[in-house]
Amino acid sequence: MEVDQILLLTLLIAFGGGIVAAVAGFGFSLVAAPPLLLMYAPAEVTALLLIVAFVTRWMLLLDTWRTTHTRTVAAMLPAAYVGIGAGIVIVRTVDPDYIKLLASLVVVVAAVLLMRGWHPRRAHAPTAAPVTGLLSGMLSPTTGMDGTPVVFLLSSRDYPIADFRSTITVYYYLILPVTILALMQQGLLGRDDVIRSLLVAPAVVGGTFIGQRIVRRMSIERFRKVVYGLLLISGLVGAVAAALSLMS
């Protein structure tokens, strides 16, 4: 496959991920990571997801920042920073195909649990936010899917849509720069990654604009069912591809 075809597919994936993230309030990495892992190395995908999220998530924060649950964010952050350090070690020591498989399995498990309406029993326990932050931090440099544990926590606490979006977005902005700088310091993120991410960012912005329009016209609950189905299919495709690569 030629480079321009790969870039075109990357733009389409990013565009679709932007729509999903704008409507559902999360899910860009979950939707985009599995197909991107079929075209790029895990470290390249992680860099792309992190940089694009940092550049574009402000759009979801503009009209909701006042509803941020700052105590929840503050409770997650210290453990998240520890998790980032652990994740960096994993990136440097684990076979890339295993990271591909992990990323895809995270998507599959997340989709199934969300579709079944699973809620942790101790979502409001004092340890819930720190544990969530630790898992999120570990996933950030390894798969770029740091939002998955946070989605579970906020959904389990039944946050309203505006509160959900603003809280997870503020959390993103406090964890993403640390992850990006850590990857750069370890030589796992370079100039080519930044350029690729900036090329893809406009597609995400376009998808976000469309997603925001869709939100006004349809039930968020109905669309989330579609999102969960897409997540499941996307994760299964990535898991099968990674497993075949490991067996070859």
Q: With pLDDT > 90 as the criterion, what percentage of the chain qualifies?
A: 26
C-beta neighbour count of 71 within 10 angstroms: 10
Helix (H, G, I), strand (E, B) or coil at 116: coil
What tokens were used for 6? 């790969």
C-beta neighbour count of 244 within 10 angstroms: 10
Per residue in 117-132, is it b (16+ CB within 10 Å) or e — as a string? eeebeebeeeebbbbb
Stronger pLDDT, 134 or 41, i.e. the higher one? 134
C-alpha atoms less than 13 angstroms from C-alpha of 41 in its C-beta half-sphere: 11
What tokens were used for 174? 């406090």
Tens digits of residue pLDDT in 7-45: 999 999 999 999 988 877 777 887 888 889 888 887 788
Residue 182 one-letter amino acid = A
Per residue in 149-163, is it b (16+ CB within 10 Å) or e — as a string? bbbbbbbbbebeeeb
Tens digits of residue pLDDT in 35-82: 898 888 877 888 898 899 888 888 877 767 789 999 999 999 999 999
145 contact partners, CB below 8 Å, separation of at least 6: 29, 30, 33, 49, 103, 106, 107, 139
What tokens were used for 52? 């694009």
Specify the pLDDT at position 3: 56
The domain containing residue 122 runs over which residues? 3-247
- Which helix (DSSP H) or strand (DSSP E) does residue 221 occupy? helix 220-247
Helix segments in 63-190, DSSP class H? 70-93, 96-115, 128-143, 147-156, 161-185
Structural domain total, the chain: 1
CA distances from 234 to 36, 60, 119, 193 (A): 10, 24, 23, 23
- pLDDT at position 1 over 60: no
> Which of 66, 80, 19, 72 is closest to 166 using CA atoms?
66
Average pLDDT over residues 142-154: 81
Specify the pLDDT at position 129: 97
Average pLDDT over residues 118-143: 88
Specify the pLDDT at position 9: 94
